[in-house]
Chains A and B, each alone.
Chain A
Amino acid sequence: EPEVTQTPSHQVTQMGQEVILRCVPISNHLYFYWYRQILGQKVEFLVSFYNNEISEKSEIFDDQFSVERPDGSNFTLKIRSTKLEDSAMYFCASSEARQGVGEKLFFGSGTQLSVL
């Protein structure tokens, strides 16, 4: 069964360092997303990506964040200068249709980011 894969599963970094989280969406999906979940909190939307550009982003997704699809399979989230409050589980997701119009999202297993 096709699945979304994410690497690494755990990432530990020092405050102020840059991190790149990687995802391989399901191959025939066209829409890609990043979500995060702080321990004990809701799953929160960060950004959606379609046709090689950001289609929607939340207020959480500020200038320290960026996304890229560097080739035909990978989808990355970069956090430029990490802060303690960036510690969370980051989930990549993909879908055939656009978020908010009845799509079904498929999530990866997540990357647990710990900022020290």
Chain B
Amino acid sequence: QKEVEQDPGPLSVPEGAIVSLNCTYSNSAFQYFMWYRQYSRKGPELLMYTYSSGNKEDGRFTAQVDKSSKYISLFIRDSQPSDSATYLCAMSGNNRLAFGKGNQVVVIP
């Protein structure tokens, strides 16, 4: 099993829809969970950061962590065309930092 799995399939949604992204992981040492947003030809930008199971909200974004299932999610409410980007999950712990492959999200006006 890969250390971090993120289905890289592109996702197209109409403006205003909820975007749902997720990753699974196998390394129990991971304790910190992040979502990065990457616009075309730009570096990844930290979007959400959490270290405990449960939900964390920041405006239209909600990060969800379920350590027992080794599963993390990102929800984007009321999606906007400006949310069109690639979203990468990342997780760290025990001196390891690993990224998912990224999901390309397109929000159609």
Count how many chain A residues have C-beta atoms less than 8 Å from C-beta atoms of the other chain: 24
Interface presence of B92 (CB below 8 A) = yes
With contact pairs A42-B102, A43-B88 given, residues A100 and B97 touching in the complex (Cβ less than 8 Å): yes
Q: Are B46 and A105 in contact (CB under 8 A)?
A: yes
C-beta contact mask, A73-116 vs B, less than 8 Å → 1, else 0? 00000000000000000010100001111111111111010000
Complex alpha-carbon distance, A101 and B45, angstroms: 18
Complex alpha-carbon distance, A4 and B63, angstroms: 25
B44 / chain A contacts, CB cutoff of 8 Å: 43, 91, 105, 107
Q: Are A98 and B95 in contact (CB under 8 A)?
A: yes
Q: Is the interface of A mostly helix, strand, loop or mixed?
A: loop
Interface presence of A18 (CB below 8 A) = no
Interface members, chain B 14-29 (any A CB < 8 Å): none
Q: Is the interface of B mostly helix, strand, loop or mixed?
A: strand
Q: Which residue of A lies closest to B99 (CB)?
A: A43
Interface presence of A41 (CB below 8 A) = yes
Pair count A-B, CB < 8 A? 57
B98 / chain A contacts, CB cutoff of 8 Å: 45
Q: Are B97 and A106 in contact (CB under 8 A)?
A: no
Complex alpha-carbon distance, A42 and B102, angstroms: 7
Interface presence of A56 (CB below 8 A) = yes
Q: Are A56 and B42 in contact (CB under 8 A)?
A: no
Interface members, chain B 54-109 (any A CB < 8 Å): 88, 92-102
With contact pairs A56-B95, A98-B95, A105-B97 given, residues A110 and B42 touching in the complex (Cβ less than 8 Å): yes
B46 / chain A contacts, CB cutoff of 8 Å: 104-106
With contact pairs A91-B43, A109-B41, A110-B41 given, residues A102 and B92 touching in the complex (Cβ less than 8 Å): yes
Q: Which residue of A lies closest to B100 (CB)?
A: A42
- Report which A residues bind B (CB closer than 8 A): 4, 6, 41-45, 56, 91, 93, 98-110, 112
